[in-house]
Structure 1
């Protein structure tokens, strides 16, 4: 029996397998509203056998967007546009999740599809960004350091977005605390030099994330709650895997269920050592040290490779991104390669099922 194609309980839900779609920004929304592209993009992965389909980083406020083309959940029109997309994912047997996000100092940037780089100027639709400290990301506009009122507003924004996500039908919520976005900026001493209760010690730097875990749990008491971490800044003096393990334990005490482990993204001078499965070791460390369930991600593109991650005890599930883009039926292909007997091949495709 393939472990990759064994079910995984998630707070009252059961994922049909452990090969999941990682959140991937599409930079194709209009005023935060997902479009037909998002419907086709996400539903195809459910048809392709994914256990969980995690929608892209979705802004909790207009100011929270990475780019002007990001999806959002800060108003009801966006919620209502998400609903049929979520229904399509669920109708095809996958669990529908969404990543709730605030970009912080990495907001108001040109999308990769625009042909431009850096911060969007105000005349072109850009906006003032915020961060724990007034330290810009290299090449981006300087952010405003957040006061306590602004921090409180962000907590409220996450709660409101969580409620809208549940109303839209999303079953899993993920708090984005990775890749150099706002919550990661608070966690890392490279971007957070505050001297109040939100800076300094690890407990203080984790305070905002933990508040958001609590408020999202209150807003969505029945939904499995994930947190995505960058387990390392890949830079001297930065956030590291030991910090991640500690904060994962604290987040679990406040209602988090699962941890999606990635790395990097905070600083331009990071020195990332890539290769197949290059982030799996971070997930394994956190799983063993903190005793929490995790997913692994990072250049995982083969069925046997994903299976080995699980059989080695390094993770409880595997998230993939680019391989799903290359093959939206990655799970169906992987099941055939591993000899897993699954019953969710779309009947319209059964003629193509390997015998």
Structure 2
């Protein structure tokens, strides 16, 4: 194997936590692709993930996968994480990634009120949310009942057990960007008066119970990554926590429920989260919980990822500095790695002049 470029050492040191060891600090960020007809990942999806593992990505987090609930996703090419054929497809993906020397976890997903009435694959399934409110606050459906909540929690737990059974290295729970779990966090979409609503801490109860159920289903040795964000797809300026003190109150119950690693989603990893400190969201999360964290947001590119415009390559100096000072533990790469499967290996071996700019066409094919 070729030698790692010394300048890149902070990105290519081994990572070890209580339940997960990774050969370096690079993570493939979860990115919705929609190349799984009828929810089944095929040979092209398998090769897509394997190619990143072959090029030294430390940990792959799959695109969002629909849990076993009729309203979990919107679209008939989004991969499912239940049923014989989808799980067999994922089993082959895991096998290919492991054979290439990588590690992989599925992102388990329920879109909640981001689903429209009549969406495939289950046209008759109404979207669900804590209060049946869309992102503008308009009433669309009835609030989830306690039975609805129980059913979703059980579906997440079943997916966690299946992930372990077919060989995945852990799971990631998608609690970010305004999808179902995040809809419980956000006061604008959660106006419940029962134990799943109320103040910021009370609004974490749904997530707490999902985390605990996944831990019980998959066992004490199985890593649980939890992705969260301040921003929503409908509101980039939204904040769950306006201060470090509020963030600590939000994170503590999730930490205690059993999260191993927090995946802190921001649009630009280099931006401070709160005034008076240079720490980003991941940095604050690590400081407040003591848990390992993944930082993400336009790594290696000069354009914000949520714009989906073309973006040029950018210096990694700021990323390396933050890793070297232990602000965060792992760096998730999205669009740069989507377009260039060899991005990590090129960086590792000092071939940064070969890195490719992100092209919008990359969204419509599997490199």
2:333 paired residue among 311, 316, 320: 320
Structure 1 140/94 Cα, relative in aligned 2: closer, same or farther at 3 Å? Answer: farther
- SS of the residue corresponding to residue 259 of structure 2 reads coil
Within 5 A, what are the aligned runs for 1:89-238? 89-108=97-116, 120=118, 125=123, 127-138=125-136, 142-221=140-219, 222-232=221-231, 238=239
Asked if 2 retains the 8 angstrom alpha-carbon contact of 1:225 and 1:256, the reply is yes
CA distance in 2, matches of 1:80, 1:122: 22
Q: Find the residue that maps to 2:178 and give its secondary structure.
A: coil
Is contact 1:20–1:318 with CA below 8 Å preserved after alignment? yes
Q: Who is 1:26 aligned against?
A: 33
Alignment of 1:2-17 (within 5 A): 2-17=9-24
- What RMSD, in angstroms, separates the aligned Cα atoms of the two structures? 2.6
Per-residue deviation, 1:218: 1.0
Q: Tell me, in whole angstroms, the C-alpha distance in 2 between the residues paired with 1:40 and 1:319.
A: 20
Q: TM-score, normalised by structure 2?
A: 0.80
| Counterpart Cα distance in 1 of 2:222 and 2:351 | 31
- State the secondary structure of the residue aligned to 1:46: helix
* Deviation sequence 1:181-221 (CA, Å, 0-9, x none): 00000011111011111101223210010001101011112
Aligned length: 319
Q: Is the 8 A contact 1:159 1:219 kept in 2?
A: yes
**Cα distance in 2 for residues equivalent to 1:277 and 1:120:** 40
CA gap of 1:56–1:141, structure 2 versus 1, over 3 A, is farther
Of residues 331, 337, 341, the one that matches 2:344 is 331
SS at match of 1:259: strand
- CA distance 1:152–1:98, change in 2 (3 Å): same
Unpaired stretches in structure 1, ≥5 consecutive residues: 109-118, 264-273, 340-355
Match of 1:349 in 2: none
- Alignment-derived partner of residue 249 in structure 2: 246
Give how far 1:295 is off.
0.7
**SS in structure 2 at match of 1:337:** coil
Residue 74 of structure 2 contacts residue 121 of structure 2 at CA under 8 Å; is this kept in 1? no
The alpha carbon displacement at 1:45 in A equals: 0.8
Cα distance in 1 for partners of 2:333, 2:198 equals 34
User: Is 1:309 the counterpart of 2:309 in the alignment?
Assistant: no
> In structure 1, how many angstroms separate the alpha carbons of the residues matched to 2:238 and 2:260?
29
- CA displacement, residues 296-341 of structure 1 (integer Å, 9 cap, x when unaligned): 00011144343222113221000010010121111111112299xx
Consecutive unaligned residues in structure 2, runs of 5 or more? 1-5, 274-278, 301-314, 353-367
State the match for 2:76 in structure 1: 68
Q: Are residues 10 and 87 of structure 1, via their aligned partners in 2, closer, same or farther at CA, if it must alter by over 3 Å?
A: farther
Worse-matched range after superposition: 130-139 or 238-247: 238-247
Moved more, 245-254 or 153-162: 245-254
Give the 3-state SS of the residue equivalent to 1:98 in structure 2.
strand
User: Is 282-291 or 316-325 further displaced after alignment?
Assistant: 282-291
Is 1:297–1:318's contact at 8 Å kept on the other side of the alignment?
yes
